[in-house]
């Protein structure tokens, strides 16, 4: 009896989802499909068995995806989802690949053979992996300390599409940060572009349901980063419901209940208060600290939940706001520890699809 | 009321811990499924299906990883959980009713500090390194209030033997007599099992932190160990604060199991309702609020012991 | 071996005869048994996985860095900014060494035991408050 295949068929897949610039629509479709199937989303390639890529292909991103692919232990399958329509089909196909035990064994043997050949070629490595030890540099107090280079993104869960924040860490404090965007830059933001997906009937980006869905998308990402998966998952469910052509009955009440629950969380406030404070020169969307920013998202969500409310809600962040947010990231994260840096980025939530050909300023 | 149970009951310990740990994992999965709008019933089989997936998944090595530390770190978590359960009585008797039972439990629980740091350091990954050290500062923040809470329960009974502590609660449960110590114990229970709001050492913002590079059976052992650990700290709350096996009608062991299930359910619910606690903010609270609170609680109990 | 142990027993309500020195040695046998059972369980799980997993040898992988290549080993001297907290913790940890046996004698020694212990703790708490004022618990 093939126990391996039997176990594999019972396993629930765990997907590592990477979003390219221009892939927000595909990501929403994938997240929805993964949620409805009861699959899990991986935090890192080590625990994943599916690599799901949302959005258009790009040479630089592809190289990174190949690296992530190589970090997945296997059994493994890869699904490309360039547009929202193909999400379900691509996931079905990837699942079938995953269950093909014979092909998975061939893949595993191929990797082991390649690894043996590389080892046999014998580049005489002084250090394991051919890597050097960490170098030292001065910290803010003038101490010479080891420095680690850690890139946040682009292949990172709950992270803006295509953003790669190249950081230098001492301990877990970000000493230097530089913004780099990976991927194609033409096209426009998913949230401001006219809808072309069959799921949404309303083409107007100013419609309160669209702005609320955009705010919910940002909020669920922040909630995941803040370590509150239950609230984040509920946020995703409500976001998907808002993007349906017809709102179901009771959606408004449910949105209000969810927003109230998040707003009342003292622990969440405590985690985000005082983080990434931005002055009055910045666009209105970004002002204040992280708590102020997510509170404004909740306002937008609650506005959409009001019955009979006219379409007077503010439009989602435009390209000016997105560029400002991107430019603010390096100076705000330097000197913060990793947990705070991730919350700051999630609260600024730069829409990398809206920045166009804008080149981010060199980092701090 | 006798202290030590026959030796064969040692076999029951991992079985019960696994059962309660599975319950906690399934409960979490069911609550998540409900939040995600899918059938909560699927949550009941979710841990088993995840275990099947991880059994089939291949293991990984990383060039430059300290394999011994890395693998040992993962295996130490379930080992610490099972060994801590040595002094937890099921009904009237525990597997080993040590005269220093409370200290033994404390010592086993601190093994997890070493385990997580070894996991994080051994993997040779920046995420792991940050995650491992995060747990150390978490330990420095919760451990003192936790130890004072344990000591206060021991003080109420005038003994470090767990069965004596249970016996001392014949009139009134320690959860009533020393509510602050009980509350602090519950907070530290979440913290030492690095679970729920205190899960940042293996947190999402670190791509899995100390567990970021684990796959297959290595990850399965860590996850199972963590839920077993959650189960054992919940189980220890019963003899320390909830009167052990005391209760009407049912036999002692049934009450112990029922109360343990209640504490596990409470912890799971807290984990569902609360976002993560940032350790650079919690440390201050742990030292400046929780330490004085638990000490005052200990003082009150000491005065109570003197006047009794 | 452990004099305080007899004290603890005496107070144990409803316990049988006070345990002798012999039981003290015996009582760690269950611990060894439990350690053995855990070792068997974990090894068994590894063996089971070895039998059913896709391929037995582990895959050699690069560490995960969000898709970028590693430039150095992560194992490095970590900047422990909460170093001051570790020292404070050590002070209290030594204190716990006194507090555990103290628990056993409070009822016997009466008021002096409580006064002495809490005077000692008050000194330590004063140190904590001083360290707090100096910002030892904030490092970002």
Residue in A46, A158, A339 nearest the CB of B200: A339
Please count the residue pairs, one from chain A and one from chain B, whose beta carbons lie less than 8 angstroms apart.
Answer: 162
- Residue A165: inside a domain: no
- Residue A49: inside a domain: yes
CA dihedral (C6, C9, C15, C20) in degrees, to 10, reads -30
Q: Which tokens go with C135?
A: 């910002």
Percent above pLDDT 90 for chain B: 75
- Residue A46: inside a domain: yes
Say if CB B32 and CB B43 are below 8 A apart.
yes
Q: Is C56 on the interface with A (CB under 8 A)?
A: no
What is residue A337's DSSP assignment? B
The total domain count for chain C is 2
- Residue C96: inside a domain: yes
CA distance B229 to A82: 43
- Residue C121: inside a domain: yes
Say if residue C108 is in the same domain as residue C50. Answer: no
Half-sphere exposure of C58 (CA within 13 A, CB side): 20
Residue in C61, C68, C77 nearest the CB of A64: C68
Say if residue C128 is in the same domain as residue C84. Answer: yes
CA distance C64 to B207: 9
Say if residue A101 is in the same domain as residue A189. Answer: no
**3-class DSSP state for residue C126?**
helix
CA distance B48 to A49: 17
- Residue C124: inside a domain: yes
Predicted structure pTM score:
0.91
Say if residue C87 is in the same domain as residue C54. Answer: no
Of how many residues is chain C composed? Answer: 140
Evaluated on CA atoms C28, C34, C38, C44, the torsion sign reads: positive
Give percent helix, percent strand, percent coil of chain C, each to the nearest 5: 65, 0, 35
Say if residue C50 is in the same domain as residue C96. Answer: no
In B, minimum Cα distance to A70 occurs at: B60
CATH classification at residue A81 = 3.40.50.12280
Say if residue C96 is in the same domain as residue C125. Answer: yes
Q: State yes or no: pLDDT of C22 exceeds 50.
A: no
Write the pLDDT tens digit of every residue in C29-58: 888 999 999 999 999 999 999 999 988 899
Cβ contact B137–C48 (<8 Å): no
Write the pLDDT tens digit of every residue in B187-210: 999 999 999 999 999 999 999 999
Q: Which residues of chain C make contact with A101, given a CB cutoff of 8 A? A: 54
- Residue A15: inside a domain: yes
Q: Nearest-CA distance from C94 to chain B in Å?
A: 11
* Domain final residue, candidates A75, A108, A141: A108
* Domain final residue, candidates A62, A83, A108: A108
Say if residue A74 is in the same domain as residue A189. Answer: no
Instruction: Tell me the residue range of the domain where C47 lies.
Output: 1-12+20-67
* Domain final residue, candidates A92, A108, A124: A108
CA distance B202 to B194: 8
Evaluated on CA atoms A267, A271, A276, A279, the torsion sign reads: positive
Cβ contact B58–A46 (<8 Å): no
The total domain count for chain A is 2
Cβ contact B64–A129 (<8 Å): yes
- Residue C72: inside a domain: no
Nearest to A76 by CA among A33, A39, A36, A46: A46
What distance lies between CA B28 and its chain's CA centroid? 16
Residue with tokens 């913290």: B191
Which of A202-206, B146-150, C55-59, C106-110 shows the highest mean pLDDT?
Answer: B146-150
- Could you write out the DSSP letters of every residue in B90-139? BTTBBS---TTHHHHHHHHHHHHHHHHHHHHHHTT-HHHHHHHHHHHHHH
Q: Which residues of chain A make contact with B216, given a CB cutoff of 8 A? A: 73
Q: Which residues of chain C make contact with B127, given a CB cutoff of 8 A? A: 64
Q: What angle do CA A125, A128, A134 make, to 5 degrees?
A: 110
- Residue A237: inside a domain: yes
Say if residue A208 is in the same domain as residue A79. Answer: no
Instruction: Give the pLDDT score at A206.
Output: 58
Which of A102-106, A196-200, A211-215, B249-253 shows the highest mean pLDDT?
Answer: A102-106
**How sure is the predictor about C26, in pLDDT bands with cuts at 50, 70 and 90?**
low
Q: Which tokens go with B83?
A: 């060994």
- Residue A45: inside a domain: yes
Say if CB C87 and CB C128 are below 8 A apart.
no
Q: State yes or no: pLDDT of C18 exceeds 50.
A: no
Say if residue C105 is in the same domain as residue C127. Answer: yes
Say if CB B60 and CB A73 are below 8 A apart.
yes
Q: Would strands A135-138 and A144-152 be described as parallel, antiparallel, or unpaired? A: antiparallel
Helix axes C29-52 and B216-241, enclosed angle (nearest 10): 150
- Residue A360: inside a domain: no
In B, minimum Cα distance to C98 occurs at: B151
- Residue A353: inside a domain: no
Percent above pLDDT 90 for chain A: 48
Instruction: Give the pLDDT score at A127.
Output: 58
CA distance A214 to B82: 47
Instruction: Tell me the residue range of the domain where A46 lies.
Output: 3-108
Q: State yes or no: pLDDT of B109 exceeds 60.
A: yes
Say if residue C49 is in the same domain as residue C5. Answer: yes
CA distance A8 to A218: 34
Instruction: Give the pLDDT score at A118.
Output: 80
Write the pLDDT tens digit of every residue in A23-71: 899 999 999 999 999 999 999 999 999 999 998 888 999 999 999 999 9
In A, minimum Cα distance to C140 occurs at: A336
Nearest to B66 by CA among B112, B135, B4, B128: B128
Say if residue A222 is in the same domain as residue A342. Answer: yes
**3-class DSSP state for residue A146?**
strand
**How sure is the predictor about A122, in pLDDT bands with cuts at 50, 70 and 90?**
low
Say if residue C28 is in the same domain as residue C59. Answer: yes
Instruction: Give the pLDDT score at A32.
Output: 93
Say if residue A319 is in the same domain as residue A191. Answer: yes
Residue in A105, A112, A133 nearest the CB of C76: A133
DSSP β-bridge partners for residue A176: A168
Q: Nearest-CA distance from C30 to chain B in Å?
A: 6
Q: Would strands A50-54 and A77-81 be described as parallel, antiparallel, or unpaired? A: parallel
Say if residue C58 is in the same domain as residue C1. Answer: yes
Residue with tokens 């209640």: B262
């Amino acid at each position: 009896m093939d126990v391996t295949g039997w176990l594999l068929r019972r396993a629930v897949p765990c997907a590592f989802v990477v979003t390219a610039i221009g892939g927000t629509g595909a990501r929403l479709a994938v997240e929805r499909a993964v949620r409805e199937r009861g699959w899990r989303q991986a935090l890192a390639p080590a625990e994943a068995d599916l690599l799901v890529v949302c959005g258009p292909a790009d040479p630089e991103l592809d190289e990174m995806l190949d690296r992530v692919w190589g970090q997945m232990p296997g059994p493994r399958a890869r699904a490309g989802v360039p547009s929202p329509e193909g999400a379900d089909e691509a996931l079905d196909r990837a699942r079938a690949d995953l269950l093909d035990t014979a092909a998975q064994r061939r893949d595993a043997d191929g990797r082991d053979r390649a690894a043996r050949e590389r080892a046999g070629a014998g580049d005489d490595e002084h250090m394991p992996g051919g890597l050097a030890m960490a170098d030292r540099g001065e910290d803010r107090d003038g101490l010479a300390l080891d420095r680690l280079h850690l890139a946040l993104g682009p292949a990172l869960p709950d992270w803006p599409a295509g953003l790669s924040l190249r950081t230098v860490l001492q301990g877990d404090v970000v000493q230097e940060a530089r913004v780099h965007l990976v991927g194609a830059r033409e096209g426009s933001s998913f949230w401001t572009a006219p809808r072309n997906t069959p799921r949404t009937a309303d083409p107007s980006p100013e419609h309160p349901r669209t702005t609320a869905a955009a705010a919910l998308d940002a909020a669920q990402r922040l909630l995941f980063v803040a370590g509150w998966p239950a609230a984040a998952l509920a946020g995703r469910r409500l976001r998907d419901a808002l993007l349906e052509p017809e709102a179901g009955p009771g959606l408004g009440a449910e949105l209000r209940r969810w927003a109230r629950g998040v707003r009342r969380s003292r622990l969440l406030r405590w985690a985000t208060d005082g983080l990434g404070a931005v002055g009055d020169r910045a666009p209105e969307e970004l002002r204040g600290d992280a708590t102020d920013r997510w509170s404004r998202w909740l306002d937008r969500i609650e506005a959409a939940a009001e019955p009979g409310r006219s379409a007077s809600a503010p439009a989602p962040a435009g390209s000016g706001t997105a560029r400002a947010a991107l430019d603010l990231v390096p100076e705000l994260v330097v000197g913060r520890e990793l947990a705070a840096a991730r919350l700051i980025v999630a609260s600024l939530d730069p829409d990398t699809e809206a920045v166009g050909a804008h080149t981010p300023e060199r980092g701090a | 009321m006798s202290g030590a149970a026959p030796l064969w009951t040692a076999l029951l310990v991992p079985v019960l811990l696994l059962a309660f740990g599975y319950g906690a994992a399934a409960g979490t999965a069911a609550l998540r499924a409900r939040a995600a709008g899918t059938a909560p019933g699927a949550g009941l089989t979710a841990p088993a299906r995840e275990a099947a997936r991880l059994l089939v998944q291949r293991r990984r090595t990383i060039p430059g990883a300290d394999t011994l530390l890395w693998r040992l770190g993962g295996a130490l978590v379930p080992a610490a959980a099972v060994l801590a359960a040595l002094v937890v009585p099921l009904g009237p008797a525990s597997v080993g009713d040590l005269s220093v039972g409370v200290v033994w439990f404390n010592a086993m629980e601190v093994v997890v500090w070493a385990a997580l740091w070894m996991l994080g350091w051994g993997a040779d990954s920046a995420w792991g390194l940050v995650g491992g050290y995060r747990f150390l500062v978490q330990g420095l923040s919760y451990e003192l209030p936790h130890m004072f809470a344990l000591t206060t329960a021991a003080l109420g009974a005038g003994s470090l033997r767990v069965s004596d502590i249970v016996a001392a609660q014949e009139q009134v449960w320690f959860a009533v007599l020393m509510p602050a110590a009980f509350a602090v114990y519950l907070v530290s229970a979440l913290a030492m099992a690095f679970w729920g709001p205190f899960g940042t050492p293996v947190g999402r913002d670190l791509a899995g932190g100390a567990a970021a590079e684990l796959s297959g059976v290595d990850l399965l052992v860590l996850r199972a160990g963590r839920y077993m650990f959650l189960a054992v700290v919940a189980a220890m709350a019963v003899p320390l604060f909830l009167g052990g096996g005391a209760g009407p009608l049912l036999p002692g062991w049934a009450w112990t199991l029922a109360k343990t299930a209640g504490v596990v359910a409470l912890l799971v619910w807290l984990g569902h309702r609360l976002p993560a606690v940032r350790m650079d903010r919690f440390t201050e609270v742990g030292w400046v609020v929780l330490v004085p609170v638990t000490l005052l609680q200990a003082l009150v109990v000491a005065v109570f012991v003197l006047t009794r | 071996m452990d004099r305080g142990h007899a004290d603890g027993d005496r107070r144990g309500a409803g316990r049988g005869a006070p345990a002798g020195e012999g039981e003290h040695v015996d009582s760690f046998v269950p611990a060894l048994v439990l350690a053995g059972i855990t070792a068997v369980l974990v090894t068994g799980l590894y063996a089971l996985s070895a039998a059913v997993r896709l391929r037995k040898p582990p895959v050699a992988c690069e560490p995960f860095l969000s898709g970028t290549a590693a430039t150095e080993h992560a194992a490095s001297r970590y900047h422990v900014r909460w170093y001051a907290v570790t020292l404070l913790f050590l002070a209290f940890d030594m204190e716990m060494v006194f507090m555990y046996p103290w628990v056993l004698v409070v009822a016997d020694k009466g008021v002096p035991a409580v006064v002495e212990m809490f005077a000692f703790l008050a000194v330590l708490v004063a140190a904590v408050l001083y360290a707090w004022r100096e910002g030892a618990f904030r490092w970002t």
